[in-house]
Amino acid sequence: MGKQKNRLNFIVGISLVSFALLLVIVGIFYTPYDPNEMNVLAKNQAPSLSHLFGTDYMGRDILSRVMEGAFTTFFVGIATVIIGATIGSILGAVTGYFGGIVDEILMRINDAVASFPSILLALVFVSILGTGKYNVILALGILFIPSFARVIRSEFIIQKEMDYVKSASLLGASHIRIIFLHIFPNTKAILRSAITIGFNNAVLAEAGMSYLSLGVQPPDASLGRMLSESQTYLFGAPWMALAPGLMIVITVLGFSLLNEGGAWHE
């Protein structure tokens, strides 16, 4: 019963994600129009055959911009998760495994970062490094470290007491070997869901930062930026919100379904 549901989740999830990925990959090589090309005569046009998702307030083709924007958003999401997951996992593993004073100090720093308002940190990065997607990635990546560290740490605390770890230790395996070869593989399931949640949160956080104009720089498109630009046009040109909004929902929903269905896959 549960298996069947997971299968369905997996199928729907993979289809949604594949669809989004396909659009992104096609977008790298081909877009119907130049995503940044403006056309005075084609401002705020409703969806039609020549512009499938309509045009925005500067006469730019929304479909092309969504394709480009989705790439930016995916890039930001994936890069953020890579930073957060790598550093967070290592921190979590070390602190969880060894415990003691290092654990205490790192976890307090962890708490401090976690309780720090994200926009302030984002602002600092943007001000020091200038604006653009790389700084969004850096800011979000650092913000995401604590949650990964916490998850992995608690998993390590449980795992290190288990028999297989004790026996490996008795057999003379080094700490590093135990951490990376014995325990890490067992945190795979939890890491996978942390990564999908992290990716989704990164996509949503990018949108939030765009709303506070701390996100990706214009004229570059990102789904969050397009969505936040569309708010004024909800009455006159609602399609401006439709395509980027749908794309975000498809991506985030796809990944969370995939995550739930992942258990079936294994």
Cβ proximity to another protein, 169 vs 217, nearer residue: 217
Segment lying near another protein (by CB under 8 A), choices 20-28, 33-41, 62-70, 181-189? 33-41
Element (H, E) at 198: helix 188-211
Residue 88 interacts with another protein (CB under 8 A)?
no
Q: Which two tokens stand for residue 237?
A: 């040109």
- From residue 37, give the alpha-carbon distance in Å to each of 34, 78, 95, 216, 219: 5, 28, 51, 18, 10
Among 75, 184, 233, 264, binds another protein (CB under 8 A): 233
Among 219, 262, 263, 264, binds another protein (CB under 8 A): 219
Q: Which of residues 1-20 bind another protein (CB under 8 A)?
A: 1-2, 4-5
Exposed/middle/buried for residue 172 (C-beta within 10 Å: 0-12, 13-18, 19+): exposed
Q: Are 72 and 220 in contact (CB under 8 A)?
A: yes
Q: Which of residues 150-169 bind another protein (CB under 8 A)?
A: 157
The residue behind tokens 């720093």 is: 109
Q: Are 195 and 205 in contact (CB under 8 A)?
A: no
Interface with another protein (CB under 8 A): 1-2, 4-5, 36-38, 40, 43-44, 57-59, 104, 108-109, 111-112, 114-121, 123-124, 127-128, 130-132, 157, 200, 204, 207-208, 211-213, 217-219, 224, 227-228, 231-236, 241, 245, 248-249, 251-253, 256-257
